[in-house]
Chains A and B, each alone.
Chain A
């Protein structure tokens, strides 16, 4: 047990907790996409960048330690997060207007939360493969943001290890662990955890698209800060109970 401060507010932490875990339990939202408290921290999206004693760190991987002074909700950090979000938008092919994940998408929700208007950068318009081979699951790589949540869920929870990242740098791409490289040969089931952790619309369950009408979806009604805290605080608390 110990105490850190986040934006001047005293926050208790348990030994072994990361900054984001301590913050989540205390009801402080730190924007994030690749982090999900159910899985091993990854630290790749960098949206949760905070300043610890003056140094920029990823809150999802950095361990909390007594007396740390953490800055989170500052203009400077939010501007950096906005830029990172814009980078994710221009890197892939994200067309919210006709994406079936719209309203349930964390990338979109974080964009709204950070008051992003439009990306300042030029779009890359990459060519990426869509895999519709599976009868129940659609893999649309256009929207992949390389959070590796599906990689982690399939490996660590489902015990199937169905996904991996191949390539390097801007040519990184999500691959399926099967001889044909297609989802239908992979043994993935719609009940797999990996089918339900994608923060964006890269992995979708088929035939669900418009069951919930646009306008009454998760982030149409509540902001991502609220949704995230209410969903994740119990998960974090359960870890040390």
Chain B
């Protein structure tokens, strides 16, 4: 199925230069935006997204005004404005383009596409053109690896970018054509559903899981979810029934939050679930609300999936009409529950559940100290269930079909099935649902991958496995994954892959703790040095020491897994690293001779004595 974004849903490019009056006063519009969000500080990120869309940046005046109107500090507004990749404190272009920096998009030709785009538009990555027409930059994986190279223009996804298409896009931009008039196929997103299983097939008929849950009884339904052995699908694998039970035992208002901030490079299964199985996801959330007794739910949607907002809101509306949301759900007195969407703005860290909660509260996405855990003190300090999109989708089906139905599939410790986002060097990238326990070799065969040098399972934070391990299994106890499954063939450079991942983590570290804030940048610099041919044996030692420290001492999952790409490739392919090293014990991190270039230019010299060589 192809998901076509309705051009009517695309925000028309504004006719006026900016939403300001003749004197350039932005106050009335900014105040209006804040008011439209109920002057609610937890809506800060949503408000700033609107301001960004309106002015293509967050003007200083808007920072002051939003702070005053919301009664929060200037620093909080400034801090949030600078934290998220899709917000900017300096003006971006009328057409604001991000290309996905994911390794898979790279393999599909992103560097050439980026070069062409910059060349045609006369702009450099990270720059806004002097006339303000266009800005181009890199962003982390946009969740479209099965149809890349991909990118975003004013928040809307561009897929299957080719050089001819870039030419077309450049023409449209130079002409100032509104996005709504661009050819619709530019924005077409394929589902690429290749293999379905327990969760995906058949899709839930709206209301059926809730009806069954009330017929069984809520305690009984929780027991069924317990019996199913369902574990969180985001990667950590905590038992879902236990999480819901803990939350229910806490006093006070409770919340249900769906984590749709899938930012792990190479993951896009939640995109497809929300495109094609949204009812099932929302029903899972409503089921959780019934069981833990929550009144309000949030779906935290990653900023890259802006285009899903309108369709999802329509489905929420439909569910309200069907009596599946709102007051007295399915006629049950006292069961009132509703769901709101909350849009992220480009921060991988917000996939970490406590960072996600901070972001939901209108703050920078910095992970909290734990304990306390979200089930006891989550959103606004209240007990909160946070589960992955796929977990809710699975829970809904379990409520309908019973725990045994689900537990009959999978392994002893990993019950049921897992949805994979398969991308990279294979004939049929896309979505595949497999029973836990399936061997990697089988998966590679199904998607048409051969001459594989390795598979990155679980995304950059997961493991890079070599061909001799293809008999290993998909399971929490063997190869755990949130869903990312990236395939690389023998023509790929393993170090370039690790390097790309190290850049990703350095870019996405929130900066709260020292090991991750400084360590991920050091790791990136060290890999750059080795890949550029300046590495020595000493750098390999540094790489290993650093990796170990970042893994053990970091504050949250991001840091604890940020060195995995280095550690897992170093363990399996040490020769590939050693081959790049120079045969001296130490080489400075910079090019000694290159540093003299300015001096040579100034003195007009280029003779042998004006150059330095290191004794090898």
- Residue numbers of A with Cβ under 8 A of B are 41-47, 49, 56, 58, 61, 63, 80, 83-84, 87-88, 90-91, 120-122, 124, 145-146, 161, 163-172, 175-179
**Which residues of B sit under 8 angstroms from A43, Cβ to Cβ?**
369, 513, 555
Complex CA distance for A105 and B64, rounded to whole angstroms: 35
In the complex, what's the smallest C-beta–C-beta distance from B62 to chain A, in angstroms? 13
**Which residues of A sit under 8 angstroms from B508, Cβ to Cβ?**
169
Complex CA distance for A164 and B74, rounded to whole angstroms: 9
In the complex, what's the smallest C-beta–C-beta distance from A118 to chain B, in angstroms? 14
In the complex, what's the smallest C-beta–C-beta distance from B518 to chain A, in angstroms? 4
Residues from 503 to 561 in B contacting A, C-beta threshold 8 Å: 506-515, 517-522, 525, 542, 545-546, 549, 552-555
In the complex, what's the smallest C-beta–C-beta distance from A229 to chain B, in angstroms? 23
Does chain A have a CB within 8 A of B271?
Answer: no
Does chain A have a CB within 8 A of B73?
Answer: yes
Q: Which of A87, A90, A176, A177 contacts B515 (CB 8 A)?
A: A87
Complex CA distance for A145 and B507, rounded to whole angstroms: 19
Q: Which of A41, A84, A175 contacts B75 (CB 8 A)?
A: A175
**Which residues of B sit under 8 angstroms from A124, Cβ to Cβ?**
521
Q: Which of B74, B369, B517 contacts A41 (CB 8 A)?
A: B369
Q: Please state if B371 and A49 are interface contacts (CB–CB under 8 Å).
A: no
**Which residues of A sit under 8 angstroms from B513, Cβ to Cβ?**
43-46
Q: A61-B369, A84-B515, A169-B506 are in contact. List 9 more A-B contacts (CB 8 A).
A: A91-B514, A164-B79, A165-B511, A166-B75, A168-B84, A169-B509, A169-B510, A179-B64, A179-B74
Q: Please state if A45 and B514 are interface contacts (CB–CB under 8 Å).
A: yes
Does chain A have a CB within 8 A of B83?
Answer: yes
In the complex, what's the smallest C-beta–C-beta distance from A92 to chain B, in angstroms? 10
Q: Please state if B553 and A56 are interface contacts (CB–CB under 8 Å).
A: yes
Q: Please state if A170 and B506 are interface contacts (CB–CB under 8 Å).
A: yes
A44-B512, A46-B553 given; A169·B545 CB < 8 A? no
Q: Which of A83, A84, A90, A177 contacts B74 (CB 8 A)?
A: A177
A84-B549, A120-B542, A168-B509 given; A46·B82 CB < 8 A? no
In the complex, what's the smallest C-beta–C-beta distance from A15 to chain B, in angstroms? 14
A43-B369, A179-B74 given; A167·B553 CB < 8 A? no
**Which residues of B sit under 8 angstroms from A164, Cβ to Cβ?**
73, 75-76, 78-79
Q: Please state if A172 and B517 are interface contacts (CB–CB under 8 Å).
A: yes
A46-B554, A83-B549 given; A63·B371 CB < 8 A? yes
A87-B519, A168-B511, A169-B511 given; A161·B553 CB < 8 A? no
Q: Please state if A168 and B82 are interface contacts (CB–CB under 8 Å).
A: yes
Does chain A have a CB within 8 A of B347?
Answer: yes
**Which residues of B sit under 8 angstroms from A49, Cβ to Cβ?**
552-553
In the complex, what's the smallest C-beta–C-beta distance from B589 to chain A, in angstroms? 4
A83-B545, A121-B542 given; A168·B347 CB < 8 A? yes
Q: Give A33's nearest chain B residue, CB to CB.
A: B514
Complex CA distance for A84 and B553, rounded to whole angstroms: 9
Does chain A have a CB within 8 A of B364?
Answer: yes
A124-B521, A177-B73, A177-B74 given; A167·B511 CB < 8 A? yes
- B75-114: CB near A (< 8 Å → 1, else 0) gives 1101101111000000000000000000000000000000
State the 6 A-B residue pairs at the shortest beta-carbon distance, nearest first.
A164-B75, A87-B518, A172-B511, A169-B509, A177-B75, A166-B79
**Which residues of A sit under 8 angstroms from B509, Cβ to Cβ?**
168-170
Interface centre among A61, A120, A164, A179 (most CB of B within 10 A): A164
Q: Please state if B521 and A170 are interface contacts (CB–CB under 8 Å).
A: yes
Complex CA distance for A88 and B144, rounded to whole angstroms: 37
List 10 interface pairs A-B (beta carbons < 8 Å), by A numbering.
Answer: A42-B369, A46-B515, A49-B553, A84-B515, A91-B517, A122-B589, A146-B514, A161-B75, A168-B364, A170-B517
In the complex, what's the smallest C-beta–C-beta distance from A59 to chain B, in angstroms? 12
Q: Please state if A44 and B78 are interface contacts (CB–CB under 8 Å).
A: no
**Which residues of A sit under 8 angstroms from B82, Cβ to Cβ?**
166-168
Complex CA distance for A42 and B366, rounded to whole angstroms: 12
In the complex, what's the smallest C-beta–C-beta distance from A43 to chain B, in angstroms? 5
Complex CA distance for A122 and B586, rounded to whole angstroms: 13
Residues from 363 to 388 in B contacting A, C-beta threshold 8 Å: 364, 369, 371
Q: Give A167's nearest chain B residue, CB to CB.
A: B82
A166-B78, A168-B510 given; A80·B553 CB < 8 A? yes
Q: Please state if B510 and A121 are interface contacts (CB–CB under 8 Å).
A: no
Q: Give B64's nearest chain A residue, CB to CB.
A: A179
Interface centre among A83, A91, A169, A177 (most CB of B within 10 A): A169
